[in-house]
Structure 1
Amino acid sequence: MTSFDILDRRSVPASAASAATPSTAARFRVWRGISPSLVLAWLVLATVLLWAMAPGLFTVYNPVEGVPGGQLKAPSAAHLLGTDSLGRDLFSRIVHGSVHSLTGALAAVGVGLLAGTTIGILAGSVGGWIDDLLMRLVDVLLSIPTLLLSLSIIILLGFGTFNSAIAVGATAIAGFSRLTRSEVVRVRRSDYVEAAFGSGGSFVKVLWRHILPNSLTSVFAFTALQFGWALLQISTLGFLGYGAPPPTPEWGLLIAEGRNYLATAWWLTAAPGLIVVIVVLSANRISQSFGRAGS
């Protein structure tokens, strides 16, 4: 070790050296800030997404073909969640049905997000009579019960998962529109936005660089919340018979098929119903984390 190395080491303050290396207490605070419920929620959604993308990795049974003599078997090692009235493995039907339920929920959220944010941005940024007209149309949508509006649209379009998704997405437009408009109006009245306009910024440029990035955080948190709500609505329509037709293993339809066997085969309704509840609660928990991050 040379004299220059000794001088270099002595010239570095002890506080700077300790700051360069994260302490054990800092690491503990980082890990303590991670909520176990949030981790569990992400694990639930990741598992369900894997079900939808690669169901063959989780089950070997055919979801639409029954086994003769295997009707209404209780949960066991061979059939984790039992079998239904036709001898079909219930766990396999839940796993394969995740693609229909999740696709419908995502499509519904996409319809509501795209149409709702477009209306909200236009109303909040332009203002005037356009704002009044669009918001009165939104008020009309809010005055109609969501289930009634969904059923009316399905009757016009026809049954099926895709049509159910469009119907549920149409009922979500009003919520996205009002939230987006309120956030755009709040940011539009900020000092830095007024300064951007005063410095010669065009309407489109200021909207793209300042208003949208600072007003859509709450909308993204609301999107995660709407995913759980859309999944619940898709399952409700499937339960009522307006969703995917049999023998499609859609979650709402699975609950409906098992309601006639509650006394003898309770698992036919309890298992898919519990899956829907867990996924919806997980989506709501993730939505809460987005909201806190945005605040």
Structure 2
Amino acid sequence: MTGLNTIGRSLLRDDANIPVKYSQVSRQATSAGHVLRILRSIKPGLVLSWLVMGVVVFWALFPQWFTSYSATVGVARQQLRAPSADHWLGTDALGRDLLARIIYGAGNSLSGALVAVGVGLMVGTTLGIVAGSARGRIDGAIMRGVDVLLSIPQLLLSLSIVILLGFGIVNAAIAVGITSIASFARLARSEVVRVRASDYVEAAFGSGGTFSRVLLRHILPNSLTSVIAFAALQLGWAILTISTLGFLGYGAPPPTPEWGLLIAEGRNYLARAWWLTTIPGIVVILVVLSANRISQSFGKAKA
């Protein structure tokens, strides 16, 4: 009888452990499913875009980490060398390492694009918020000025402004930023008007909220998401436009490394040294496409 009681208690202990073991297996299955859902939600194109932009940012901030060559001083008897183990992307007509010039050029191109986007974002968004909030004659006057800016081709306007300001990467960036003011202003105004007409904003006004309080607490936070996504898109456009101005000779002066200038310097040697124009052009394309892809992800997140 004692033996039977011992076997019974053992079976009861095993039965009591079954729910514990089942719950552990269930938690493990839930965790595995959660990890699987995260992996499925990762989009390779978006990850690659962030990786490209991250590399370019590190190039701009810490160029000496990625190359030991000078971006402005050439090596004797190393002119127009094809890509090799010593010079991964080859050399230019003065014996300067092309990879070093691209890496150091990231700082000029990216900083110029950030200045351009900053000018357009701050000035254009401010004008759009004022127009969408004030309405009436103020709105009409601001938007008529915006229409005038939008009626002028952006590249032509950029060239006109940079000629007035003078050549240089900073002046080119300011010129590009001025041409983007109209786009930011129109988008910001449309978002402010849309949000202001929503029910919760009307309820905030009806509950006694002042205009400035409702503007800061409800209208602006819900209006700037699209503007920020548009700023990411404008970053790629600014890099492309600044590179275009540099290619035309209105950007950074030689021997300053700048992506548009690199393409312009290599066009005379296209038959002998294809890498001088092709590789900087590919870099510009990758950065612009990456910025556009990131901007699209911001827009989808908002939706």
| Cα 1:78–1:17 shift into 2, 3 Å | closer
The 1-side partners of 2:94 and 2:281 are apart by 19
Is it true that 1:68 corresponds to 2:76 in the alignment?
yes
Q: Residue 23 of structure 1 aligns to a residue in which SS?
A: helix
The 2-side partners of 1:26 and 1:61 are apart by 47
The 2-side partners of 1:60 and 1:11 are apart by 63
The 1-side partners of 2:33 and 2:25 are apart by 16
The 2-side partners of 1:242 and 1:213 are apart by 38
The 1-side partners of 2:27 and 2:186 are apart by 46
State the shift of 1:26 in Å: 2.4
Name 1:269's counterpart in structure 2: 277
Is it true that 1:204 corresponds to 2:212 in the alignment?
yes
| Residue in structure 1 matching 2:287, options 279, 287, 295 | 279
| Residue in structure 2 matching 1:185, options 174, 193, 213 | 193
Name 1:148's counterpart in structure 2: 156
* Residues 116-156 of structure 1: CA deviation (Å, up to 9, x unaligned): 10011000111111111100000000001101111111111
* Residues 182-240 of structure 1: CA deviation (Å, up to 9, x unaligned): 01000000000000001110001000000011111111110100000000000000000
Name 2:239's counterpart in structure 1: 231
Name 1:30's counterpart in structure 2: 38
Which structure has the greater CA radius of gyration?
Answer: 2
Name 2:137's counterpart in structure 1: 129
Is it true that 1:40 corresponds to 2:23 in the alignment?
no
State the shift of 1:22 in Å: 3.3
The 1-side partners of 2:193 and 2:25 are apart by 47
- Runs of at least 4 residues off by over 4 Å: 8-12, 14-21
* Residues 163-188 of structure 1: CA deviation (Å, up to 9, x unaligned): 00000000100110111100100000
- Aligned residue runs from structure 1 range 165-180, under 5 A: 165-180=173-188
Gaps of 5+ in 1: 1-7
Is it true that 1:83 corresponds to 2:108 in the alignment?
no
* Residues 66-105 of structure 1: CA deviation (Å, up to 9, x unaligned): 1111100000010001000000000000001110000000
Quick one: which amino acid aligns to residue 101 of structure 1?
Answer: S
Quick one: which amino acid aligns to residue 64 of structure 1?
Answer: T
| Residue in structure 2 matching 1:214, options 213, 216, 222 | 222
TM-align CA RMSD? 2.0
> Among the aligned pairs, what percent are the same residue?
68
State the shift of 1:246 in Å: 0.2
The 1-side partners of 2:124 and 2:39 are apart by 37
Is it true that 1:110 corresponds to 2:97 in the alignment?
no
State the shift of 1:25 in Å: 2.1
| Cα 1:267–1:10 shift into 2, 3 Å | closer
State the shift of 1:11 in Å: 11
| Cα 1:16–1:198 shift into 2, 3 Å | farther
Name 2:248's counterpart in structure 1: 240
The 1-side partners of 2:130 and 2:280 are apart by 41
Quick one: which amino acid aligns to residue 164 of structure 2?
Answer: L
The 1-side partners of 2:27 and 2:179 are apart by 53
Deviation larger for 57-66 or 17-26: 17-26
State the shift of 1:23 in Å: 3.4
TM-score by length of 1: 0.94
Gaps of 5+ in 2: 1-15
| Cα 1:256–1:124 shift into 2, 3 Å | same
| Residue in structure 2 matching 1:194, options 202, 216, 219 | 202
| Residue in structure 2 matching 1:291, options 289, 294, 299 | 299
The 1-side partners of 2:156 and 2:125 are apart by 23
Quick one: which amino acid aligns to residue 258 of structure 1?
Answer: G
State the shift of 1:10 in Å: 10
| Cα 1:11–1:84 shift into 2, 3 Å | closer
Name 1:4's counterpart in structure 2: none
| Cα 1:17–1:24 shift into 2, 3 Å | closer
Quick one: which amino acid aligns to residue 177 of structure 2?
Answer: G
State the shift of 1:19 in Å: 6.8
For this pair of structures, how many residues does the alignment match?
A: 288
Name 1:160's counterpart in structure 2: 168
Deviation larger for 19-28 or 164-173: 19-28
